Structure 1
Amino acid sequence: MEIRFGLGIRARLASLASDVRGGAEGARVFLDRHALATGGRDSERAAGRILCYHSVGQPRWGINDVDEGRFRQQIESALDAGYRFVPAADIVRTGGGPLDLSVTFDDGPRSVLTAAAPILASYDIPFSVFVVSDWSEDGLGGDALSWAEVSRLAELGAEIGNHSASHPDFSRIGKEQAVHEIGSAQELIERRTGIRTSTFAIPWGQSGNWPVRAHEAALELGYEVIYAQAEETRSPGTAARSFVTRVDSPRIFDALLRGRYDRWEEWIWRRSAG
């Protein structure tokens, strides 16, 4: 069957194809999510949902970046639909209710402090941030949160979690290196900020990126809450999260909240782990 796209979709695909980091990846994610928003099935789950963001208005994060206006729009549309925002720990601990949402951020981009935090504060919404310790140590030319900024987020009430030392694909490293990635990040975060992290978010976060040996390493280091970046396809023993992307228009974000992507995995990481 031939699929025809309207002018708006063609324009969006052209924009994604011209993105420095997006390109084919961004176009493919958009096509996947557009198709599921149109023909997917709503989830009948009774639990809460944890949203996984990355940067807000930092285009260098590519498909992971949500611009500031769209981020505010998503928060407002969720509130207008009757959702309430709770700490991610609440959903992990109790499962939450069907109208419970949580906000988390991976990677520790600087825009979490400069753009996302003020928006969330205006609605009194709690959130969690998972930092890559080497990136905060280096600064990434000002793109990553400094340690002072990580501490500032903690002062604002954010939960600070571990996202590894260098953001590896854990499917490509052995257990000894996995212990080093998780443990050294844990130690550096505590040394620089005084925060002893108790939660871990898997880099890339798809099922193929988290083998049993990595899960064992995290548990041995005291991490009992390990967040994935997928819902029904996540690795056993991990907490589900719904990945929010730069292509998530109001229509796609509504489909996300209704669970139409709960069986979807980000295709590029599924392929790279195969």
Structure 2
Amino acid sequence: MSIRYSVLRMGFAMIAATQANRWLGPFARGRGLILTLHHVRPRVPRDFAPNAILEITPDFLDQALHTLARSHDFVALGDIPQRLREPDGRPFVAVTFDDGYRDNAEFALPVLQRHGVPWTLFVTPGFADRSAQLWWLELEEAIRRLDHLEVEVGGSEPLSLSLPARSATEKATAFDQLYWQLRAGTEERLRAVVAELAQRTGVDGIEMVERLCLDWDGLRALSGKAGVSIGAHTMTHPMLAKHSRETARAEMYQSRETIERELGIDVRHFAYPVGDRGSAGPREFDMAAEAGFEVAVTTRPGHIFAEHAGHLQALPRVSLNGAFQTGAAVQALASGVPFLLWNRGRHLNVN
């Protein structure tokens, strides 16, 4: 685990030990929160797993829902605008999953049904029809197969890396350095570098999507379950802010149209891929509103406050993170205390 995550873990434990969630909670806690999840599946121990932050176990999901139910109401994502119009009431939690993974139906659904929790799955049609790729997982698998990472890119975005990758520690360092350098540049360079590494190491991206993601038949079966709603997550999972208005608009509109055609449902909600400040900002928030999405969610961390009623296409979320699968972490996140510092005391982070 990185130093950053070790520090955060200690912070969660300190909040629990000092009961800061009780005495700071009234100042930090919003009207509610939206959880972000990706994978829910049994833990498979492995030394090199940089994307393990995106997965939690079914047992931890069960524990988290049980903990949250003591102090919060579980609501559907579409209920949030109404909850914000109501002056009083218990804090709420909305549960969301991104991308459309098979384990959501296999392992998460039974837990959510047992607790009677409604949830929204944000679907990327390119994963459902196997035309898009999980580049972050391809990058992990490519580095897993390498003993030495060599990347040389010329042109307007030069990139040069030569790093050992024999041990799990070396692989984690190589992944971290390359990942964040790629994230800092254009998506064209990112996808080109990952594609070259995948080809060099024999990583089959389409097979990976087939193995991990629900197809349209699976999504049709899931969308018919009680408590399940489906939202859009673009066609191919791009970081929208890195693309032209025309491209971003097409990704938004076409994803909704494709899902509605395939599943025979109305799609009213949207999640920005990656969803941080570098992936979605005011331009994208305005586009989501113009497209008619009633609610759109980011991955900017924070609680939902009354002021968000005027920014329903820029809602923050709270990650139920694989690095912090403890009761102390759930209580700290639900208290809002970690976000006091992160957002510098502001309720809104929409610029």
Q: State the TM-score bracket (shorter-chain normalisation).
A: 0.7 to 0.9
**Contact 2:223–2:263 (8 Å) recurs in 1:** no
Quote the Cα distance in structure 2 between the aligned partners of 1:117 and 1:200: 21
Who is 1:20 aligned against? none
Whichever residue aligns with residue 117 of structure 1, its letter is: L
Alpha carbons of structure 1 residues 87 and 63: separation in structure 2 relative to 1, 3 Å? same
Partner of 1:85: 74
Residues in 2 aligned to 1:264 and 1:193: alpha-carbon distance in whole angstroms: 42
Cα distance, 1:46 vs. partner?
Answer: 4.7
CA distance in 2, matches of 1:70, 1:119: 10
Structure 1 residue 30: Cα displacement: 4.3
Is contact 2:32-2:303 (8 Å) kept? Answer: no
CA-to-aligned-CA distance 1:4-30 (integer Å, 9 cap, x gap)? xxxxxxxxx3xxxxxxxxxx4xx5234
- Name the counterpart of 2:55: 65
User: Quick check: 2:71–2:91 contact (8 Å CA) kept in 1?
Assistant: yes
8 A Cα contact 2:239 2:279, kept in partner: yes
CA distance in 1, matches of 2:7, 2:269: 33
Distance in structure 2 (CA, Å) of the matches to 1:166 and 1:34: 37
Q: Which runs of 5+ in 1 are unaligned?
A: 1-12, 14-23, 266-274
Opposite residue 156 of structure 1, the aligned amino acid is: K
Contact 1:162 1:201 in 2 (8 A): yes
The structure 1 residue matched to 2:330, chosen from 225, 235, 253, is: 253
Within the candidate set 252, 262, 267, 1:182 is matched to 252
1:240 CA drift (Å): 2.6
Matched-pair contact (CA < 8 Å) for 1:230–1:240: yes
**Structure with higher RCO (Cα < 8 A, 6+ apart):** 2
Q: Secondary structure at the match of 2:300?
A: coil
The match for 1:220 is 290
Per-residue CA shift, 1:220-241, capped at 9, x if unaligned?
Answer: 2221311122344999541232
Give the AA of the match of 1:250.
G
Partner letter of residue 322 of structure 2?
A: R
1:230, 1:86 → 2: CA distance? 20
Q: 1:37 to 1:227 in 2, by over 3 A?
A: farther
Measure the CA separation in 2 of the matches of 1:56 and 1:191: 28
Q: 2:39 aligned with 1:55, yes or no?
A: yes
- 1:75 — aligned with what? 65
Amino acid at match of 1:221: A
| CA–CA distance in structure 2, aligned partners of residues 259 and 66 of structure 1 | 21
CA contact (8 A) 2:98 2:233 kept: yes
**Unaligned ranges ≥5, structure 2:** 131-205, 343-351
Instruction: Check the 8 A contact 2:36/2:320 in 1, yes or no.
Output: yes
Alignment TM-score, normalising by the size of structure 2:
0.62
Deviation of 1:135 (Å): 0.7
Given that 1:50 and 1:91 are in contact with CA atoms closer than 8 Å, whether structure 2 keeps it comes out as no
The range that moved more, 99-108 or 60-69, is 60-69
Aligned to 2:5: 29
1:165 aligns with 2:235: yes
1:29 and 1:43 mapped to 2: Cα distance? 26
Cα–Cα, structure 1 residues 88 and 72, in superposed 2: closer, same or farther, change >3 Å?
A: same
SS of equivalent residue, structure 2 residue 235: coil
Give 1:34 deviation, angstroms: 3.2
Aligned counterparts of 2:303 and 2:279: Cα–Cα separation in 1: 12
Equivalent residue, structure 2, for 1:152: 221
Change (3 A) 1:90 1:33: farther
**Deviations 1:149-203 (Å, cap 9, x if unpaired)?**
2122221131100011111112211111101111121122122211231110111
Letter in 2 for 1:70: F
Q: Distance in 2 between matches of 1:54 and 1:92?
A: 24
Displacement of 1:245 in angstroms is: 0.5
Aligned residue number for residue 272 of structure 1: none
- Contact 1:107 1:130 survives alignment (8 Å): yes
Instruction: Say which one has the larger Rg.
Output: 2
State, as a whole percentage, how many aligned pairs show the same letter. 25
Q: Is the alpha carbon distance of 1:82 and 1:232 closer, same or farther for their aligned partners in structure 2, counting shifts above 3 Å? A: closer
Tell me how far 1:37 sits from its aligned partner: 5.1
Number of equivalent positions? 241
Letter in 2 for 1:29: Y
Cα deviation for residue 263 of structure 1 reads 4.6
Q: Do residues 244 (structure 1) and 320 (structure 2) align?
A: yes
Q: Partner letter of residue 25 of structure 2?
A: D
